[in-house]
A and B are shown apart, each in its own frame.
Chain A
Amino acid sequence: MYIFRRWWDRHALTLGLACLALSTAWLLRQTQSAVVLELYQRLTLPFQAAGSPQAEILANAQVEELQQRLTELKNQNHQLQKLLDYKAVQPATAIVAPIVGRSADHWWQQVTLGRGSQQGIKVGAVVSGTGGVVGRVVQVTPNTSRVLLVSDPTSQVGVTISRSRHMGYLRGQSGNRAIMEFFDKVPDVRPGDVVSTSSFSQLFPPGLAVGKIESVDFGKSPAPEAVIELSAPLSYLEWVVVTPSTTTPPPQTDPQLDLQSDLQSDLQTDLIPFAPTGLTP
């Protein structure tokens, strides 16, 4: 008993502090480090996007985005005229948000926005910027939100070739490149084609500019692949536009789980029109 008392007297403070540190860290992990992000947002408030030194790059990207959108709209219009089945899409209210932080880890391609649930951003909202689609909101705190970029390897989006309407899905390659995997064996695609989000994607609205085909590898098995150059300059962006998603996925705190359901819903919906052709002899 005496030995224990002596040990306790000597180590009580250290033990208490260690418990405090561990429980704080656990709390931070459970709350997705919301406190840290909020504090960071407060601190960086005076520095947020005063002017844009990369104005030229952004301007170029904007021109390119507009050109791509034009191509996409032309093709879409052509399709719709054929179908005579046009449904108007209501424009949703958009929130403009500054990018205040980059990803806190090398393995994830994320950015932190300086607007959060108080400004009306919800998990699953679509983020786009100058140049096209940027990513999706995976977590929100009162004044910040975390966006998983399209360039993240786990971020998979249903996309379509604007010219030939051939479908596939896109896998990020961390950087300004992404890989598009086609569903068809022999897709009609060539370098320079414009890629936009497909109308089967449940997470992104159809017709958003994604990028341009850089090269195509037809020999790849099981399906041909193409390298896409993303049109949004992800590492230079300072402001983005957040639009609430039309389909709200169930709120989940774990971004990983969220992504899985994201891909599955994307793939399932994308694969449905393809499956019957694959089954017929």
Chain B
Amino acid sequence: MTALLLWSPYVRQLVNWAVTAGSVLLCLFVLHSRLPGMELLGVGPNWPLIWVVAWSVKRSPWQGAFAGLVLGLIQDGLTSPDPTHTISLALVGMLTALLQKQRYVQEDFISVALIVFGMAVLAETVIAVQFSLQSSHLMAQSTYRSLAEIWGYHQRIALSSAILSSLWAPVLYYPLNRWWQLINNIEQMQT
């Protein structure tokens, strides 16, 4: 803390952004691996979603939606841009910020896990809706999944993704939140 105080504001900003971008990159790496304990029915935790929730909890809805958009674009690049992940993640960011959790609940761990649980279900539902719209559009080509397939699969992954993501959420949320709080405190002290 004292060391950080001595740095010039610009260097501190730069380090802050580096830490933020680094945490995103870390999320993307972990997303590809399936470490022991990170898999349930072949589904892993949704790390970009956890990051967006961690970012949005104490920020404005627009900042949340923007983070969702950025992470969604990156995840599109990593999998397939059609259907896009930007809508679900931007929605998650916006809703998380609108919840205004810190106003009502001081406690951090369980409430964040609960938010992640709900948001994971929401995100998978949004993607399932996108798939359904696609399949009704492109009935002629059977390349796309049928409605029964989409929603059957949705049930399975929404639940396992929500459970795993909410259990792993504190791992990302705790250090990131500590860091952002520290930077915030220093900035308030200096102004």
Query: B139-163: contact bitstring with A at CB < 8 Å (1 yes, 0 no)?
Result: 0011111000100010001000100
Q: Contact check, A29 vs B143: say whether CB atoms are below 8 A apart.
A: no
For the complex, count residues of A whose C-beta is within 8 A of B. Answer: 44
Contact code string A24-57 (vs B, CB < 8 Å = 1, else 0): 1110111111001101100110000000000000
With the chains together, A100 CA to B34 CA distance in Å? 10
**Contact partners of B33 in chain A: CB under 8 A:** 44, 101-102
Which residues on A sit within 8 Å (CB–CB) of B77? 28-33, 36
A39-B25, A260-B141 are contacts. A102–B44 as well, Cβ < 8 Å? yes
The answer on a CB contact under 8 Å between A263 and B74 is no
Whether the pair B142, A263 counts as a contact (CB closer than 8 A) is: yes
Give bound CA distance, A4 to B80, whole Å: 41
Contact A106 B28 (CB under 8 A): no
Chain B contact patch, size range:
35 or more
Given the complex of chains A and B, what is the CA–CA distance between A28 and B77 in angstroms? Answer: 6
Cα(A174)–Cα(B43), bound, Å: 10
- State how many angstroms separate the Cβ of A246 from the closest Cβ of chain B: 22
Q: A106-B161, A107-B131 known; A153 and B28 CB under 8 Å?
A: no
Interface contact A43-B29, CB-CB below 8 Å: yes
Residues of B contacting A264 with CB < 8 Å? Answer: 141
Q: By the criterion CB–CB under 8 Å, are B32 and A153 in contact? A: no
A8-B81 Cα distance, complex, nearest whole Å: 34
Q: How far is the CA of A105 from the CA of B71 in the complex (A)?
A: 13
* CB <8 Å contact, A103 and B13: no
Q: Is B69 positioned at the interface, with any CB of A under 8 Å from its CB?
A: yes
Collect the chain A residues with CB atoms within 8 Å of residue B143's CB: 154, 156, 259-260, 263
A-B contact list, 15 entries, CB within 8 Å: A13-B13, A22-B73, A25-B69, A25-B74, A28-B73, A39-B25, A39-B29, A40-B28, A43-B29, A104-B78, A153-B145, A154-B145, A254-B80, A256-B80, A263-B143
